[in-house]
């Protein structure tokens, strides 16, 4: 007795010093146990038992109501606490064992006290560098653990872990959840039925399982069925989609439940359910007043039960269940109550596993202060004990644990009416989890990667990979050969080769070039590009890396936006150019716009109308600048050469065409590139057709201004007519073989129609504005040859006032818009107002015009690569989600993925410039040869994709 007192005294003095017990067990990777306890003062605290594992059950903590969620980040203090809690749990385990066995625990207690003291001594002298090394090592181990078996864990992650983010949006661990509508849910069932499958889903358990049953069928049926309390079995059938959903009322793990499983096992395989959701505990807790004997009977495995304990349970079980005839309404034979428990039932899970996915649903925590008087015995402590018993028993079978529902109910329980049953928010997400498990691999939604397999590899992808593989092999061979020791090198026979290049104007240019260096540089560039493309493929066409849903909050959007704007202003420097809208300024403009668009895509801010419309202005600004810059070049330089045309088109399309081959996506998928390419083609045709108007020709014949104005007016009329006639529009863009350039993977032109019509005048605005600025310069209306005011002082201030009014007016217009459709209808006619207003504000004052942000300008130089590369190596699932390289650390993940993404975009930009010289040489014969080779490659690809209607 004294020894027991000594042990309890040690535990109360040391083991409960922190009022927080955490036990870490390193055993079966499938098990993560969770329990909740109370402090002596009555306030709840967390008792967590975890084990290293494959993530089936992760971080399930019964948090008290209105208490902050525990964080996953470990500080140095947290590390010390973790060591303390390990030994606290060990001491608790000793006492628990000593209560059942008559042996002395004091030796064990003293041993753990000595180990605890040694640990504390080590922690006080813990080297800081070792601490950060351990953090890095644990982070690396986490990444390796999740990526060891790519593609096989997304279903497990969906059912086991997750968190609420944004505004009550559930995020499963490591994969993306699609929110199914009623129509999509029915389409899924119809699709499975169409391909010869059947939809047979069974819910078996207590009133909590019945709640999910009602929510599930309400998502599928046209009319909502209100749930009702009745201790009976239920069923729902829909022949249109070949759907059968049944609920079997079995509130306790007893012989009636066992008979139900026996009947299911005896069914023919084709008549068995596809999915079985089961679970039970709370009725047993209520019926037996949370007695320990009931828990023993519930589990009944590995425990030497006495006759006395069984005699206490069975009479009560007979009294509570036998009078009710409703248990037989499931269609199963009614039996006398005999001894049955979870260990008797799990064997049926294995027998059903060949045809049925069995999900054992862990019990949700309760909101204790909302419970009625006859349910006060149902506490989170006892619920966790039953969950632990279920884990220990069911984990030996092939059934899966559904524990994420527990986290859903724990994360949001404000709308729970009685404290026992889940509210509407939790039920909605529970059903969405089930739908994602059941349907994702059939429906292939871009934003639903949970339980979805990777896309099959195409022949074109294999061929492209082979070309890059050969390039890499040649590069490695040449690298070894060129870097061999000097004494092994033979004097080259011909060091330089004379190259005669015939330029497009007919002149012959002689150059001396080292052939070996050019070949080496080409294959080196191709090899590096191949490695980057492999990373693209790995990130977005496999399940090797995790993907998560986007979620929007005001903080998520405006915090990085503010930070980047401040950072950009910090790097403001004086430019060596002072002309109107000079190159440094346009690079800066493209840079900050691209960064804002990236934040917009990352945070999913498209749901906010005001932000959406501002981003529409930024996209229009890109097209405005494209029209402005290209027309300015053609007018001032008079360079209408085919070489110039090919160079610009190659610069726009090289990366996109490559990604179409590698990522198996249509050209229209990267919508911005088709837009800028189309409008550049239209602009090139407009200026190159006779008469060709340039600055020099206008100086000699002022009437040429009229020709140029007529061309612009004709272009505006053609655009308006094309927009006004839907039939004419489809005739133009749905004609083979160019149809393949404008349709999406489902052969629809709607996306192109929307993008084209939204910015149909943006390039034209840029052309007209460029013509006005060039004319104003010729007429000396303003002077930008100095760093002073662009216009006289009074006129400058008038222009500034009008510019502010333009920006304010567009903001007011956005405020009055109520829907995207309404805003999009008016946007094409007003887009130039904020763009021109910004340009004048940026250029009127010399001290503003002559300064620029080098930070933004650097990003502006690679803005094209940033816009395209974000689809696959920063975002994920074709921009519908976010790539996750570092799970559980959201901020660190954004930092690392952003760093990799920007570096890859910069490298692609440099490689594109290098390869442009080889693909588009300034020799018309070589250029023609390359063009013929490209067409020869493109034709079989187009034929296989039906571009010629074959």
Residues belonging to the active site: 207, 418, 421
Residue 881 backbone dihedrals phi, psi, to 5 degrees: -135, -165
* Cβ 849 vs Cβ 585: under 8 Å: yes
CA distance 29 to 711: 72
What CA–CA distance (Å, rounded) separates 858 from 118?
A: 54
DSSP, collapsed to helix, strand or coil, labels residue 817 as: coil
Query: For residues 719 and 787, what is the distance between their CA atoms, to the nearest angstrom?
Result: 39
Partner residues linked to 24 by β-bridges: 50
Rounded to whole angstroms, the Cα distance separating 708 from 695 reads 11
> Which residue is associated with the tokens 């037996």?
288
Residue 25's nearest CA partner among 84, 90, 113 is 90
Q: Which residues of 790-804 are buried (b: 16+ CB within 10 A; e: fewer)?
A: bbeeeebeebbeebe
Distance CA(280)–CA(777), nearest Å, equals 82
Q: If you compute the radius of gyration of the chain from its CA atoms, what whole number of angstroms results?
A: 35
Q: How many other C-beta atoms are found inside a 10 Å radius of the C-beta of residue 581?
A: 20
324: its two tokens: 């009710």
Separation of first and last alpha carbons in the chain: 91
What is the SS3 assignment for 164? strand
Distance from C-alpha of 161 to C-alpha of 173, rounded to nearest angstrom: 5
E strands along 424-528, which residues?
A: 497-502, 508-513
Q: Please give the Cα distance from 605 to 337 (Å, whole number).
A: 58
Q: Give the separation between CA 756 and CA 762, rounded to whole angstroms.
A: 10
Q: Whole-angstrom Cα distance, residue 542 to residue 533?
A: 13
Minimal CA–CA distance to 404: which of 162, 152, 65, 174?
162
CA-CA distance, 591 to 559, in Å (whole number)? 18
Alpha carbons 258 and 340: distance in angstroms, whole number: 7
Residue 144 Ramachandran class (φ > 0 left, ψ -120 to 50 alpha, else beta):
alpha
Tokens linked to 243: 């759907």
Strands (E) located in 807-880: 851-853, 875-876
Nearest to 650, CA basis, from 933, 939, 920, 937: 920
- C-alpha distance from residue 57 to each of 53, 62, 376, 388, 835 (Å): 8, 13, 27, 11, 53
Phi, psi of 508 (to 5 degrees): -110, 130
Is 334:327 a contact under the CB 8 Å cutoff? Answer: yes
Calculate the alpha carbon distances from 583 to 228, 488, 652 in Å: 70, 50, 18
Tokens of 50: 């975890």
Report the SS3 class of residue 876: strand
Q: What is the DSSP string of 32-99?
A: -EEEEEE-TTS-EEEEEEEE--SSSS-----PPTTPPPPP----HHHHHHHHHHHHHHHHHHHHHHHH
């Amino acid at each position: 007795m004294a020894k027991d007192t000594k042990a309890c005294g040690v535990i109360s003095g040391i083991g409960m010093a922190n009022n927080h017990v955490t036990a870490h067990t390193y055993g079966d990777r499938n098990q993560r146990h969770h329990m909740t306890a109370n402090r002596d003062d009555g306030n709840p605290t967390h008792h967590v038992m975890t084990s290293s594992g494959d993530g089936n059950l992760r971080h399930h903590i019964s948090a008290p109501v209105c208490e902050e969620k525990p964080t996953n980040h470990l500080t140095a203090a947290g590390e010390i606490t973790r060591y303390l809690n390990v030994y606290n749990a060990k001491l608790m385990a000793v006492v628990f064992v000593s209560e059942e066995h008559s042996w002395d625990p004091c030796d064990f207690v003293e041993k753990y006290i000595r180990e605890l003291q040694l640990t504390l001594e080590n922690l006080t002298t813990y080297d800081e560098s070792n601490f950060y090394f351990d953090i890095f090592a644990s982070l690396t181990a986490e990444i390796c653990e999740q990526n060891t078996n790519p593609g096989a864990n997304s279903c497990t992650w969906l059912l086991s872990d997750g968190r609420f983010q944004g505004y009550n949006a559930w995020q499963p661990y490591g994969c993306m959840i699609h929110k199914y509508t009623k129509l999509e849910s029915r389409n899924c069932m119809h699709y499975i039925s169409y391909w010869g499958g059947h939809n047979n889903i069974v819910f078996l358990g207590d009133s909590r399982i019945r709640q999910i049953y009602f929510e599930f069928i309400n998502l599928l049926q046209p009319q909502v069925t209100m749930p009702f309390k009745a201790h009976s079995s239920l069923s729902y059938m829909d022949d249109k989609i070949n759907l059968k959903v049944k609920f079997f009322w079995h509130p306790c793990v007893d012989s009636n439940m066992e008979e139900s499983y026996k009947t299911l096992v005896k069914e023919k395989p084709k008549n068995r359910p596809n999915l079985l959701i089961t679970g039970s505990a709370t009725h047993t807790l209520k019926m037996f007043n949370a007695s320990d004997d009931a828990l023993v009977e519930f589990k009944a495995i590995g425990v030497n039960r006495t006759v006395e304990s069984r005699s206490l349970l069975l009479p009560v079980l007979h009294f509570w269940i036998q009078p009710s005839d409703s248990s037989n309404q499931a269609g199963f034979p009614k039996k006398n109550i005999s001894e049955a428990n979870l260990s008797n039932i799990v064997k049926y899970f294995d027998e059903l596993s060949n045809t049925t996915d069995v999900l054992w649903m862990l019990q949700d925590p309760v909101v204790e202060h909302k419970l009625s008087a006859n349910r006060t015995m149902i506490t989170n402590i006892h619920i966790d004990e039953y969950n632990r018993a279920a884990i220990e028993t069911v984990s030996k079978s092939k059934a899966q644990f559904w524990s994420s529902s527990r986290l859903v109910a724990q994360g949001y329980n404000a709308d729970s009416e009685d404290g026992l049953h889940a509210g509407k928010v939790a039920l909605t997400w529970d059903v969405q989890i089930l739908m994602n498990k059941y349907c994702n691999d059939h429906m292939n939604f871009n934003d639903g990667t949970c339980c979805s397999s990777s896309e099959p590899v195409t022949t074109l992808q294999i061929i492209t990979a082979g070309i890059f593989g050969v390039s890499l092999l040649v590069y490695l061979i040449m690298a070894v050969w060129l870097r061999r020791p000097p004494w092994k090198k033979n004097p080259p026979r011909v060091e330089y080769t004379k190259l005669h290049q015939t330029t497009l104007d007919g002149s012959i240019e002689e150059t001396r070039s080292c052939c070996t260096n050019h070949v080496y540089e080409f294959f080196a560039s191709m090899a590096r590009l191949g490695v980057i493309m492999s990373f693209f493929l790995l990130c977005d066409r496999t399940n090797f890396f995790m993907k998560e849903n986007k979620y929007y909050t005001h903080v998520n959007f405006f915090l990085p936006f503010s930070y980047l704007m401040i950072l950009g202003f910090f790097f403001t420097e004086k430019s060596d150019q002072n002309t109107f809208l000079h190159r440094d300024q346009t690079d800066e403009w493209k840079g900050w716009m691209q960064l804002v668009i990236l934040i917009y895509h990352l945070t999913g801010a498209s749901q906010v109308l005001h932000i959406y419309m501002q981003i529409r202005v930024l996209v229009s600004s890109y097209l405005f600048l494209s029209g402005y810059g290209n027309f300015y070049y053609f007018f001032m330089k008079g360079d209408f050469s085919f070489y110039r045309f090919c160079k610009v088109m190659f610069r726009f399309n090289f990366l996109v065409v490559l990604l179409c081959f590698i990522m198996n996506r249509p050209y229209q998928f990267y919508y911005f590139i088709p837009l800028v390419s189309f409008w550049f083609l239209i602009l090139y045709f407009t200026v190159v057709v006779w008469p060709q108007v340039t600055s020099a020709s206008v100086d000699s014949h002022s009437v040429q201004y009229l020709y140029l104005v007529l061309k612009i007016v004709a272009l505006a009329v053609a655009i308006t007519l094309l927009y006004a006639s839907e039939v004419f529009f489809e005739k133009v863009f749905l004609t083979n073989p160019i149809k393949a350039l404008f349709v999406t993977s489902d052969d629809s032109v709607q996306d192109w129609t929307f993008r084209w019509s939204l910015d149909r005048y943006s390039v034209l605005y840029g052309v007209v504005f460029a013509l006005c600025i060039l004319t104003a310069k010729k007429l000396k209306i303003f002077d930008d040859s100095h760093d002073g005011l662009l216009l006289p002082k009074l006129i400058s201030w008038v222009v500034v006032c009008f510019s502010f009014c333009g920006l304010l007016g567009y903001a007011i217009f956005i405020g009055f818009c109520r829907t995207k459709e309404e805003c999009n209808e008016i946007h094409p006619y007003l887009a130039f107002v904020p763009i021109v207003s910004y340009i004048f504000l940026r250029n009127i004052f010399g001290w503003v015009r002559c300064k620029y942000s080098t930070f933004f300008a650097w990003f502006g130089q690679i803005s094209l690569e940033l816009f395209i590369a974000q689809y696959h190596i920063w975002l994920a699932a074709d921009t519908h989600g976010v790539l996750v390289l570092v799970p559980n650390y959201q901020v660190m993940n954004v930092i690392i993925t952003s760093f990799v993404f920007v570096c890859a975009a910069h490298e692609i930009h440099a490689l594109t410039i290098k390869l442009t010289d080889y693909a588009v040489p300034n020799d018309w014969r070589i250029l023609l040869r390359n063009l013929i080779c490209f067409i020869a490659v493109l034709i079989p690809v187009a034929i296989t994709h039906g571009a010629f209607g074959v």
